[in-house]
Structure 1
Amino acid sequence: MKDVAQHAGVSTATVSRVLNGHAAPTPETRERVLAAIEELGYRPNALARSLRTTSTQTLGLVISDLLNPFFAEIARAVEDEARSHGYCVVIGNADESAEQEATYVRTLLDRRVDGLLLCPATDDPSLVREVSAGGVPLVLLDRTVRGATCPVVRADGSEALTALARRLVGAGHSRIGVIAGPPNTSTGRERTDVLTGALGGVARVVHGDFRQESGSQAAAKLIDDGVTALVVMDNLMGLGALGEIRARGLQIPHDIALAVFDDQPWFPLLDPPITVIAQPTVEMGRAAARSLLALINGQQPDDVRLTAKLVLRGSCGEAEL
């Protein structure tokens, strides 16, 4: 700032007023300061400023898998909402790894983010406790952990899963394969419990890891086990299951029915279109950002539980029911 002030022939206080959007003594002075900033390539030191203002105007977001379109859409929604409030978002990709998640969380805290949005990789509460103990505002997104006391923003798919189970059983399926997520995640466990409870004894469960390859491997086991329908609890595992079905030359829904938790823009374009349980992804991301900003501003927001919806398409043979 001193260099800019000297170059423009003004005081550092005048430079500060220009940088912070306050009126300079005259429009000519303001233009002279801006020209000096441009000529010198000056950029304010955000970290130094944060030490004075105790705010970086930055939010941290650690998501489970950046390759998963569900989390990519959530990240975009968080970023859009944060930007409308004057905040930037720094994103870390945990890659479904608790160790990588912890590394990103601690790095973001070291960078003095004003608050943190976290989609936990596991049910282990230790990292959440660490963040909370440091006094950093924290909101959990999509998943929760044992004993969490911070706000949680997620979608409830219970009604949609129950309706899907009734639909499949009503269509005559007596051996239904469930490709479940990891049991050490809240979403992996809860979705499986709801669906298997609704299906009763006709469910055959194989766990995956929310990755495409695990979906393919699980589908192979279940098809070999003689299931006539597959319900996949994640879109990437759903793609893996679809690939395995195609590789075997099976016809959907005549040879095997298919439904996937999470919608994607290309699912309606497939032949047949894929039946899904669609989460309100954009609303989740925006609601999570708003909850975090409320915490930063000293408020105590409630948990947000949105509703996922069953979208019936041709992959479960709905037209024949």
Structure 2
Amino acid sequence: MSQSDGEKPPTLGDLAKAAGVSKGTASNVFNRPKLVREEVRVRVLETARGIGYRGPDPMGRMLSAGRANAIGVATMEPLAYLFEDPFARRLMAAIAQDCQAEGVGLSLVSAAGEDDLAWSMESALVDGFILFCLTGAKRLIQRSRERRLPFVALDLGGDDETLSVVGIDNVEGARRAARHLVDLGHRRFVILAMETTSNRFGQREEGEAVEYHASRNRLAGYREVLAEAGIDPSTVPVFETLSDDPTVHAAMEALFSADARPTAILAQSDRIALIALAWLKARGICVPGEVSLVGFDDVPEASLSDPALTTISQPIEEIGRRAVRLLMKISRTPHAAPRRECLDTRLVVRGSSGPASAG
């Protein structure tokens, strides 16, 4: 009874009949094998191979149980980003560890285009999504709602009170970074920003719209403190980067070819800060003697650089763990009110920041 081209695949019922067992016993061989005697289990599996039965359909199992027992992490970033970026890698490790502790599976959903996103989120066998909203937040939220599945966004920047969110206060974190450098006497600042709008980089003009929440809110926090210190924010250059070597290097070349070099760099992520630090070291520019540098995130690499990076620490692992637990909770109580959990940030002072030089 092996399957040939054009024939309907054998079903669980076909297997049970061919093996001479009940349908329940055949099902237990695949789903609860410890309940079946070894000789019966071996006979059923040999029969399955003989007729070409490949096991229960995952979609059918999910529909029967009403749950997939898995959650998805959805992002508009390339899938490699989740493994290459220090922040994303640390966050994903925490999410994976908590999923394992909860006994649920984890599916990664990444799509660069609208059509890919629609297909990926529609076909994912999950009970809900964690939305890694660095870019494309509105599209991720829209697709999650279309699937009518619960979701938790890792982004506190929006004003939609109907969303369940876990994240940090990016404005306050940025204030702490800027205040630290102002208190050290710095007055010549530059800001190295993350993407503010999809796939653009270079120096930003004053008043240009900023699409992405984290970039916008960190920029707002920096500027608020600079204004309080009597520094006109419009005179502080903002270089948007793609958080990679080419765009950060281009920004640094422009900054340090000017007549009046900055003495303080505010980087919107540790990844940007570490690239900038390597660039400065390669050119013999002393950190913090000539220029001080403060990052944002406190990834493991920040404490290992030379000098070690002063940064704003956010509880990356705790964000991941809380997102998993919140999603599990609302997936079981679908009519519960949305929850917004805001975790604290703190300034971690290391060797990359110091007093402004007299020159």
Q: TM-score, normalised by structure 1?
A: 0.85
> Is the Cα–Cα contact under 8 Å of residues 215 and 239 in structure 1 kept in the other structure?
no
Residue identity opposite 1:198 in structure 2: V
> Is the Cα–Cα contact under 8 Å of residues 61 and 116 in structure 1 kept in the other structure?
yes
1:221 partnered with 2:254: yes
Match of 2:179 in 1: 166
Distance 1:214 1:116, change over 3 A: same
Match of 1:112 in 2: 125
Give the Å deviation of 1:193: 0.4
Match of 2:64 in 1: 52
Equivalent positions of 1:191-210 (< 5 A) are: 191-200=218-227, 201=231, 203-210=236-243
Q: TM-score, normalised by structure 2?
A: 0.77
Counterpart selection for 2:23 from 12, 16, 31: 12
Q: Residue 52 of structure 1: SS of its match in structure 2?
A: helix
Of 106-115 and 259-268, deviating more is 106-115
Match of 1:281 in 2: 316
Residue identity opposite 1:308 in structure 2: T
Give the Å deviation of 1:154: 0.7
Distance 1:209 1:136, change over 3 A: same
Residue identity opposite 2:254 in structure 1: K
Q: Deviations over 1:83-109 (max 9, x none)?
A: 222211111345xx5x26x62454132
Residue identity opposite 1:172 in structure 2: G
Match of 1:307 in 2: 344
Distance 1:33 1:248, change over 3 A: farther
Distance 1:34 1:85 in 2: 29
1:248 partnered with 2:283: yes
Q: Deviations over 1:254-286 (max 9, x none)?
A: 111111111222322222111111111111111
Q: Could you tell me the percent identity over the aligned residues?
A: 28
Give the Å deviation of 1:17: 3.9
Give the Å deviation of 1:297: 0.4
Distance 1:106 1:151, change over 3 A: farther
Distance 1:253 1:117 in 2: 39
Counterpart selection for 2:217 from 167, 190, 197: 190
Distance 2:116 2:159 in 1: 21
1:149 partnered with 2:156: no
Note the residue ranges of structure 2 that are not aligned, 5 or more in a row: 1-11, 197-209
Residue identity opposite 2:22 in structure 1: S
> Is the Cα–Cα contact under 8 Å of residues 7 and 36 in structure 1 kept in the other structure?
no
Q: Deviations over 1:127-160 (max 9, x none)?
A: 4234214311111114655636220111224444
> Is the Cα–Cα contact under 8 Å of residues 188 and 264 in structure 2 kept in the other structure?
yes
> Is the Cα–Cα contact under 8 Å of residues 109 and 124 in structure 2 kept in the other structure?
no
1:262 partnered with 2:311: no
Distance 1:142 1:216, change over 3 A: farther
Residue identity opposite 1:195 in structure 2: Y
Give the Å deviation of 1:3: 6.3
What is the CA RMSD across the aligned residues, in angstroms?
2.8
Give the Å deviation of 1:8: 6.0
Aligned length, in residue pairs = 311
Q: Residue 103 of structure 2: SS of its match in structure 1?
A: coil
Distance 1:313 1:262, change over 3 A: same
Give the Å deviation of 1:288: 0.8
Q: Residue 315 of structure 1: SS of its match in structure 2?
A: coil
1:87 partnered with 2:100: no
Q: Deviations over 1:136-193 (max 9, x none)?
A: 1111114655636220111224444323322212222110111122131100000110
> Is the Cα–Cα contact under 8 Å of residues 60 and 89 in structure 1 kept in the other structure?
yes
Counterpart selection for 2:86 from 69, 73, 80: 69
Q: Residue 288 of structure 1: SS of its match in structure 2?
A: helix
Equivalent positions of 1:21-36 (< 5 A) are: 21=32, 24=35, 29-36=36-43
Q: Residue 284 of structure 2: SS of its match in structure 1?
A: coil
Distance 2:244 2:58 in 1: 38
Give the Å deviation of 1:23: 7.3
Distance 1:288 1:124, change over 3 A: closer
Residue identity opposite 1:68 in structure 2: D
Note the residue ranges of structure 1 that are not aligned, 5 or more in a row: none
Q: Residue 114 of structure 1: SS of its match in structure 2?
A: coil
Distance 1:278 1:11 in 2: 59
Distance 1:317 1:37 in 2: 72
Residue identity opposite 2:88 in structure 1: F
Distance 2:282 2:156 in 1: 33
Distance 2:142 2:121 in 1: 16
Distance 1:204 1:295 in 2: 43
